[in-house]
Amino acid sequence: MPRRLIRAIRAIRAIRAIRAKLPHGRRVDYPRRGRTNWLRWIPSWRQALSGVLLGIGALTGLFAVMYSSVDIPDENFEARRQGTVYYWADGTQLVSVGEVNRQNVTLADIPDSMEHAVIAAENENFYSDSGVSVPGIARAAASMVTGGETQGGSTITQQYVKNTYLSQEQSATRKFREFFISLKLSNKQSKEQILQGYLNTSWFGRGAYGIQAAAVAYYGIPAKKLDPSQTAMLASLLKGAEQYDPAGGRANHERAVDRWKWVLDRQVEIGMMTKAERATHTKFPEPRKAVKPTSLGGQTGYLVDIANKYIKKRSGLTAKDLARGGYRVHTTFEKARVQQLEGAVRSVRKRDLDPEKRPADKYVEVGAASVRPEDGAVVAVYGGADAITRFANNADTAGVPVGSAFKPFVLAAALQNGDGITLDSGYDSTGRLITNGPPTVTPTDRPDGGATAVPVPMTVPTTLRDALIRSANVTFVRLGKHIGLKKVKEMAVAAGLHEESLARLDKSFTLGTSTPSAVRMADAYGAFSNEGIRADPYSVTSMTRDGETVEGFGRPEPQRAMDASVANDVSNTLGIAAWTALARDRQFDALSGSTALDDLSGGATDEDDRMRSAWFIGHARGLTTAVTVFRNRPGTPQLLGMQGVGGAGAERGNALPLRIWTSYATGK
């Protein structure tokens, strides 16, 4: 018989002998036989060891079951939501749009000092731990069971999991899920990914989720420009923004300063800052005053409206896409210019309009846009008094007839296409076009004392130059008929006006029955001052989402709208027209200066126009700006008449756009 079988038989017999000695049915010698009193209840060392091993095995099995059953869930809805941020041309923040003020950034855009401050304050063993804190979980669980105050003590990974994957409720179930998800996440993501996610989802107070929004809310700068003192202050807020925001009162300020000092000192203790560097941070970095959350009030809503229209046109994104948030939009808008344009409108309205005394001054609306001719950048707009109370954007809405301000396009079409037509051409008393007539405009002193040519007052305009300066309706009706209205339309479109905004081709077409927007009129007039070259107006220079570039925002290619000689002829004539208009206005001396408008040119509606609007489009200091004034009663689609608007000297309101433009151009 084999030896192994013999040994097995002997072992079975030994077990049977032991069982025979035990009372019937007992498999374990416990309570122990052969012991008396309480000693029989003390297990042997073998029994104790077996119990410990069985317990460890059971817990290990339970842990394995729970670990395998808890999956990393999808990010919760709140964690995915971000605001869309719009930036001024200089890179500073214009507005954050969305219910959640958050803009995710990468660690590359977060200074090392922010990482160090957060780790020192929240989790000094972050880079070496397993992602969880067992003592912290135990303290929190015990506190909840006994009904005590909820406890913290979580690692950065656990806090990130709570922010991103779980609700904020305090319950044992949520804590256990947090524990296992944190373990799994630590095995799946790098520490850098976790830290980046944590800094983008944490609440810093003042409506700011994430470090980027917090940097703007507290210091008005992007996160990457924060210094070590500022990052220590922001890291202090993670303990509880309601108690540590310095703007929350004296007690808050004292707590904030103490916590700020502690965060800096902790960085020294754990080797993340030298003592020498710590010694340079002795003054508390006071944040700026807390301000109300950004909104779309004032001009902001109009700026965003123009930017969004351009985004949809160039990128193919829909309103639904934009509503997801998370975009970073860099615009062409210049803050100082926008404020200056708004200030010009307000000052003229306050001085020249009195709706309490003059019924004609009621329901007056203003729209304006300022464009850089060399590339088409829209640098400023005025869309109305307030985007919240008036939704229609007066700067970018077609519907207001442009009147005599359209005549330069008629002249340009004639100079470009008319055989032998020049500025000195004109109509004789019989209505016959004379293409080689002598000039009849004599130079004289400029109204401000300069030497620019200004026409001597004449009874009957005899040249096309003089006809544009005097806005002679009959001449331009004849001119349009002579060269063909189709060519006039083609010139207007080539200059940048939308074809759908142009009126039908009848005898009044050349008198300005078309209704282009202020943005388009400013852009089109820019071709005259830019030697016939123009580019489509644009308002967005670049756009990203989650660090990825959204395509479609290259600068529009410049195009030739007309010959350079034609553009220069029209521009020079508009210069004379603009100075003549300024000299005629009673506000000229108060608003302009002798050297402020050296490159001035401009076109306008005239007092003889019977359009229900007034316009002035002028070029000065490298910008072309269109201003329109009209009357519109809410709920009424038709424009109201302009007779009497602005009182005596306003010429059916025509002086108001000129005054707004001059105030904006001169800064007075």
Residue-wise DSSP of 119-132: HHHH-TTTTTS-S-
The tokens describing 212, both together, are: 């980027």
pLDDT band for 245, please (50, 70, 90 cuts): very high
102-278 domain in CATH 1.10.3810.10?
yes
Q: Where are the domains of the chain?
A: 3-69, 102-278, 371-666
SS3 289: coil
**Phi/psi zone of residue 462: left (φ > 0), alpha (ψ -120 to 50 degrees), beta?**
alpha
Please give the DSSP secondary-structure letter assigned to residue 640: B
- Give residue-wise pLDDT tens across range 641-668: 888 888 887 777 788 999 999 999 988 7
Strands 364-372 and 327-331, sheet pairing:
unpaired
Residue 618: C-alpha distances to residues 273, 370, 581, 582, 615 (Å):
58, 10, 11, 11, 10
- Give residue-wise pLDDT tens across range 106-139: 999 999 999 999 999 998 888 888 667 666 555 5
The tokens describing 125, both together, are: 């063993």
- Does residue 439 surpass a pLDDT of 50? no
Beta bridge pairs of residue 625: 370, 618
How far apart, in whole angstroms, are the C-alpha atoms of residue 408 and residue 567? 10
- DSSP run (H or E) holding 370: strand 364-372
pLDDT confidence of residue 7: 57
- Does residue 627 surpass a pLDDT of 90? yes
SS3 405: helix
Whether the model clears a pTM of 0.75, i.e. scores above it, the answer is no
- Give residue-wise pLDDT tens across range 371-382: 999 999 999 999
Residue 32: C-alpha distances to residues 26, 36, 38, 154 (Å):
11, 9, 10, 46
Residue whose C-alpha is closest to residue 464's, from 488, 436, 492:
436
| Contact of 365 with 642, CB cutoff 8 Å | no
Count CA atoms closer than 13 A to 291's CA, side-chain side.
12
Beta bridge pairs of residue 330: 87, 542
- Strand ranges (E), 159-251: none
Going by C-beta distance under 8 Å and a sequence separation of 6 or more, which residues neighbour residue 427? 433, 434, 462, 475, 478
CATH number of 371-666: 3.40.710.10
pLDDT band for 103, please (50, 70, 90 cuts): confident
- Cα 586 to chain center, whole Å? 41
Residue 546: C-alpha distances to residues 215, 228, 640 (Å):
18, 26, 48
The tokens describing 25, both together, are: 């049915």
pLDDT confidence of residue 344: 96
Average pLDDT in the 613-629 region? 93
Going by C-beta distance under 8 Å and a sequence separation of 6 or more, which residues neighbour residue 265? 278
Going by C-beta distance under 8 Å and a sequence separation of 6 or more, which residues neighbour residue 270? 119, 120, 124
Kindly report the average pLDDT of the chain as a whole number: 82
